[in-house]
Chain A
Amino acid sequence: MITVSSARKNYGDFLALDDVELEIPSGSLTALLGPSGSGKSTLLRAIAGLETLDAGVVCIAGVDVSREPPQRRGIGFVFQHYAAFRHMTVRDNVAFGLTIRRRPKAEVRRKVDELLEIVGLDGLQHRYPAQLSGGQRQRMALARALAVDPQVLLLDEPFGALDATVRADLRQWLRRLHDEVHVTTVLVTHDQQEALDVADRIAVLNKGRIEQVGDPVSLYERPANDFVMSFLGSVARLAGHLVRPHDIVLDRDLAVVQRDDARAPSSPGVVSAAIERVVRLGFEVRVELRANTGERFAAQITRAEADRQRFVAGETVHARATRPLDATDTDPSLAI
């Protein structure tokens, strides 16, 4: 378990961390999510000891490590740009932490072979980092960090420098790895998709403050405030209520739109709106509308639904939010 309390960090007169309180349970995979410049890296580096806090305490496994250097915090750290040791082979990179600890040669060899197999780099151990792809380099960096059996694994936008497909593959892979290895992991990302995809807990940061901490579903469905709501996914405003675009029913038949009331009893009223544009996005379809009050909003419907209704631009339909998201009626116990 990692506990950060009253963490404060100033760069000059800029407040990068503002009284941050955070608990990361043992064995979890927690994402630190926030926009660029929100202090995610600063917080992660403070946990690692790569940055010193102006005030506050960092505990790892119940031990106050605030005054300890990174060497003595029992961490593994993975950098966005890999930080590969360029003059060493893959094998020597992964073995570095063990060599430093003067472990017996046979043990080092066995452990490195095992890790290279886990990260899928067996066969490449004699290459230099320059001869690897970005994804391979990052897996090498992960193996290197795991070699020293860290109590916590800290990842600073580990997939940020990779292209979208490789990124998606690697985060699935990371999730499976975590399920096998179970090391407490903190992942920094500014990509809400990535956080929702891999993490079992998400802490949302904004301007050096933690806005909300919780599991992905509760953050997505019961955001504590407007910032968390709009940062975790797009929102539409419909009849004065905020709603995720996929929680809007659209139909030409008013009765159909109203019929759902039993399923969503608190749902607000029906709005009639003119369709301005229909955009097909793979398996989903985005319908851009303009309500008769003049408000513009977008709804997301399934392709099957779109095929059934065959909406065209210019016609008028009825719309209703089935699961409004308004921050006011969220469970206050989730907010921090």
Chain B
Amino acid sequence: MRTSRRATLTLRILALAYVVGLLAVPILVILYRTLEPGLGTYIDSIRTPAAIAALNLSLLIVAIVVPLNVVFGVVTALALARWRVPGRGLVQAIVDLPFAVSPIVVGVSLIMLWGTSGWFGGLEGSTGVKVIFGLPGMVIATIFVTLPFVVREVEPVLHEIGTEQEQAAATLGASHWQTFWRITLPAIRWGLTYGVVLTVARALGEFGAVIMVSSGFPGVSQTLTLLVHSRYIDDHNTYGAYAAATLLMGLAAATLLLMTVLDRKKGSR
């Protein structure tokens, strides 16, 4: 059976309309609205103390979450793909849990665990570390929702490259550690990069879980995403919300670009 030219054309137009309508138009509208009053207005809007604090907080959370997730993700992926761990199925299910659970549920359960009247609530009284409504709570919430990305990107790559290269390295005298750094890590580089990009994007953009465990004070405990929300809903500052959203998108795009460039450099060495 062959599709006629007309059918092919219709399909293409439909697909294009879908992408443009659902992805490109909203992004372009925000970009347009942000830059319409001029670049100066935009810069002023993202240089308010609240905006700078929000940017710093978002970057701090990313800086804590990404290394933790990279280590956890690579170790878990190795365990799932290489070692015969008992209860593999259970681990797989746990890793996928954040995909299945709504972020807001994550927030609620964290409050139940770490809140002043929660199971681990005593921690705050004894050590003075404020988990809920503090930085630790936002970090834990972000870790939870971004947990699967690195594992899910790296594990299939490990399966695909197989174990022969690692065995060859062993017969040539390489220790497990040397084999990991010189053989396994370069081989999973692309998957890892992609996992990191997804983690950064999600960590920057996470809303539901973080809003539950943040006290939400502007300039103190607002991430950039929370700032977009509060500017729009609480302050009715539509333009400010657009401006902050553009900054967020810029950060995500910069991450993607940076990782690609870094990988190019390493690859062409």
Assess whether A71 is in contact with B165, with CB atoms less than 8 Å apart. Answer: no
Known: A50-B167, A70-B167, A77-B168. A85 touches B183 (CB 8 A): yes
Q: Which B residues from 161 to 179 make CB contacts under 8 A with A?
A: 161, 164-165, 167-175, 178
Most chain-A Cβ atoms within 10 A of its Cβ — which of B165, B178, B186?
A: B165
Assess whether A76 is in contact with B171, with CB atoms less than 8 Å apart. Answer: yes
Assess whether B174 is in contact with A100, with CB atoms less than 8 Å apart. Answer: yes
1/0 per residue, CB under 8 A from A, across B243-269: the answer is: 000000000000000000000000100
Cβ of A48 < 8 Å from any Cβ of B? yes
1/0 per residue, CB under 8 A from A, across B169-203: the answer is: 11111110010001100110100000000000000
1/0 per residue, CB under 8 A from B, across A290-314: the answer is: 0000000000000000000000000
Report how far A268 CA is from B164 CA in the complex, Å. Answer: 53
Question: Assuming A79-B164, A100-B172, what are 15 further A-B pairs, CB within 8 angstroms?
Answer: A48-B171, A50-B171, A70-B167, A75-B171, A81-B164, A86-B187, A87-B187, A87-B189, A96-B172, A97-B174, A100-B178, A100-B182, A144-B172, A145-B171, A148-B173
Chain A positions within 8 Å of B187 at CB level: 86-87
B159 CB to closest chain A CB, in angstroms? 15
Assess whether B169 is in contact with A96, with CB atoms less than 8 Å apart. Answer: yes
Partner of B165, one of A50, A86, A145: A86
Chain A positions within 8 Å of B175 at CB level: 71
Chain A positions within 8 Å of B182 at CB level: 96, 100
Report how far A48 CA is from B164 CA in the complex, Å. Answer: 13
Chain B interface residue bracket vs A = 10 to 19
Known: A85-B165, A86-B165, A87-B187. A70 touches B178 (CB 8 A): no
Q: Which A residues from 68 to 107 make CB contacts under 8 A with B?
A: 69-71, 75-77, 79, 81, 83-87, 96-97, 100-101
Chain A positions within 8 Å of B169 at CB level: 85, 96
- The 10 A-B residue pairs with the shortest CB-CB distance in the complex, in nearest-first order: A97-B172, A83-B164, A83-B168, A77-B171, A87-B186, A70-B170, A70-B171, A100-B174, A71-B173, A100-B173
Q: Which A residues from 91 to 127 make CB contacts under 8 A with B?
A: 96-97, 100-101
Report how far A50 CA is from B166 CA in the complex, Å. Answer: 11
Known: A71-B174, A100-B174, A148-B173. A79 touches B186 (CB 8 A): no
**Complex A-B: 12 CB contacts under 8 Å:** A48-B171, A71-B175, A77-B167, A83-B167, A84-B165, A85-B168, A87-B187, A96-B182, A100-B172, A100-B173, A100-B174, A144-B172
Report how many residues on chain A are interfacial, defined by Cβ distance under 8 Å.
24
Residue of B nearest to A82 (CB): B164
Assess whether B170 is in contact with A69, with CB atoms less than 8 Å apart. Answer: yes
Residue of A nearest to B183 (CB): A85
Task: Identify the B interface with A (CB < 8 A).
Answer: 161, 164-165, 167-175, 178, 182-183, 186-187, 189, 267
Chain A positions within 8 Å of B183 at CB level: 85
Report how far A70 CA is from B164 CA in the complex, Å. Answer: 13
Chain B positions within 8 Å of A50 at CB level: 167, 170-171
B106 CB to closest chain A CB, in angstroms? 38
Assess whether A101 is in contact with B164, with CB atoms less than 8 Å apart. Answer: no
Chain A positions within 8 Å of B174 at CB level: 71, 96-97, 100
Residue of B nearest to A80 (CB): B164
Assess whether A97 is in contact with B164, with CB atoms less than 8 Å apart. Answer: no
Chain B positions within 8 Å of A71 at CB level: 170-171, 173-175
Report how far A311 CA is from B204 CA in the complex, Å. Answer: 86
Report how far A64 CA is from B208 CA in the complex, Å. Answer: 61
Chain B positions within 8 Å of A87 at CB level: 186-187, 189, 267
Chain B positions within 8 Å of A100 at CB level: 172-174, 178, 182
Residue of A nearest to B167 (CB): A50
Report how far A4 CA is from B190 CA in the complex, Å. Answer: 43
Chain B positions within 8 Å of A96 at CB level: 169, 172, 174, 182
Report how far A84 CA is from B164 CA in the complex, Å. Answer: 9
Chain B positions within 8 Å of A77 at CB level: 167-168, 171
Chain A positions within 8 Å of B170 at CB level: 50, 69-71
Residue of A nearest to B174 (CB): A100
B176 CB to closest chain A CB, in angstroms? 9
B154 CB to closest chain A CB, in angstroms? 16
Chain A positions within 8 Å of B171 at CB level: 48, 50, 70-71, 75-77, 145
Report how far A23 CA is from B45 CA in the complex, Å. Answer: 81
Report how far A83 CA is from B170 CA in the complex, Å. Answer: 12
Residue of A nearest to B164 (CB): A83
Chain A positions within 8 Å of B267 at CB level: 87
Known: A85-B183, A87-B187. A97 touches B173 (CB 8 A): yes
Chain A positions within 8 Å of B167 at CB level: 50, 70, 77, 79, 83
1/0 per residue, CB under 8 A from B, across A138-153: the answer is: 0001001101100000
Residue of A nearest to B171 (CB): A77
Chain A positions within 8 Å of B173 at CB level: 71, 97, 100-101, 148
Report how far A42 CA is from B171 CA in the complex, Å. Answer: 16
Report how far A75 CA is from B161 CA in the complex, Å. Answer: 23
Report how far A159 CA is from B175 CA in the complex, Å. Answer: 28
A286 CB to closest chain B CB, in angstroms? 41
Residue of A nearest to B161 (CB): A86
Report how far A94 CA is from B267 CA in the complex, Å. Answer: 19
Report how far A147 CA is from B168 CA in the complex, Å. Answer: 13
Report how far A81 CA is from B267 CA in the complex, Å. Answer: 24
Report how far A86 CA is from B189 CA in the complex, Å. Answer: 12
